């Protein structure tokens, strides 16, 4: 044989020799079950730890959505010298499309103590005067957007909040007019 060539060992039938497991070698049923149990435990821990991240992500989306709507409402006001005259209503593509072509919808499921029907959706109302009263026609010089956070996010505590032309107010009753979807 020349240098660098390897000899291939063939068995009686002319095939190369492979290493196969012989009887008695391999994993036992107990070993396989232990490995499966460990994998199941690790995956359960991973799913539980991701649950908290999902809540934080939904709340961060809520805050970002509200800030986006505030910016859009300010642009609407600059063009029309009024905020969108609309009675208290849940924000939808139908009633809010004059401000944003595709308005954001509140993420689901709800988090924390937020009510599914009255606090989880974004609820908008145009306002006028001091104290703020509902404005449905004419020039509206204020607005309120009610939203709810499931946990503390970006300096805002968990619970109901009210976004206005002056910023974000916190706490029950932050929106001074009765807001219902």
How far apart CA 150 and CA 137 sit, in angstroms, is 34
- The rounded Cα 100 to chain-centroid distance in angstroms is 20
Lowest mean pLDDT among 29-38, 113-122, 151-160: 113-122
0.75 surpassed by pTM = no
- Residue 92 sits at φ, ψ, to 5 deg, of -135, 170
Assess contact for 112 and 150: CB atoms under 8 A. yes
Residue 29 scores a pLDDT above 80: yes
**Helix, strand, coil in percent for the chain, rounding step 5:** 30, 20, 50
Assess contact for 140 and 90: CB atoms under 8 A. no
Residue-level pLDDT at 117: 65
Helix (H) or strand (E) holding 29: helix 29-80
Residue-level pLDDT at 180: 58
What Rg value do the Cα atoms of the chain yield, rounded? 31
Give how far Cα 107 sits from Cα of 121, 126, 178, Å. 8, 23, 23
Q: Any idea what the Cα angle at residue 44 is, between residues 43 and 46, rounded to 5°?
A: 65
* Domain residue extents for the chain: 53-170
pLDDT in tens, 132-165: 788 888 888 899 898 888 888 888 888 888 898 8
């Amino acid at each position: 044989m020349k240098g660098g060539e390897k000899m291939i060992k063939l068995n009686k039938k002319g095939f190369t020799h492979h290493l196969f497991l012989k009887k008695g070698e391999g994993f036992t049923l107990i070993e396989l079950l232990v490995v499966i149990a460990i994998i199941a435990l690790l995956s359960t821990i991973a799913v539980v730890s991701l649950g908290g991240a999902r809540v934080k992500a939904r709340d961060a989306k809520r805050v970002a959505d509200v800030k986006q709507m505030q910016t859009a409402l300010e642009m609407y006001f600059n063009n029309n010298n009024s905020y969108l005259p609309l009675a208290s209503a849940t924000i939808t593509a139908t009633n809010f499309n004059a401000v944003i072509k595709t308005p954001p919808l509140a993420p689901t499921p709800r988090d924390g103590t937020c009510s599914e029907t009255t606090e989880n959706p974004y609820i908008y109302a145009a306002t006028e005067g001091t104290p703020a009263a509902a404005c449905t026609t004419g020039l509206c010089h204020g607005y309120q957007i009610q939203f709810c956070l499931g946990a503390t996010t970006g300096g805002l505590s968990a619970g109901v909040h009210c976004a206005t032309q002056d910023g974000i107010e916190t706490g029950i009753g932050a929106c001074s007019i009765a807001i219902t979807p």
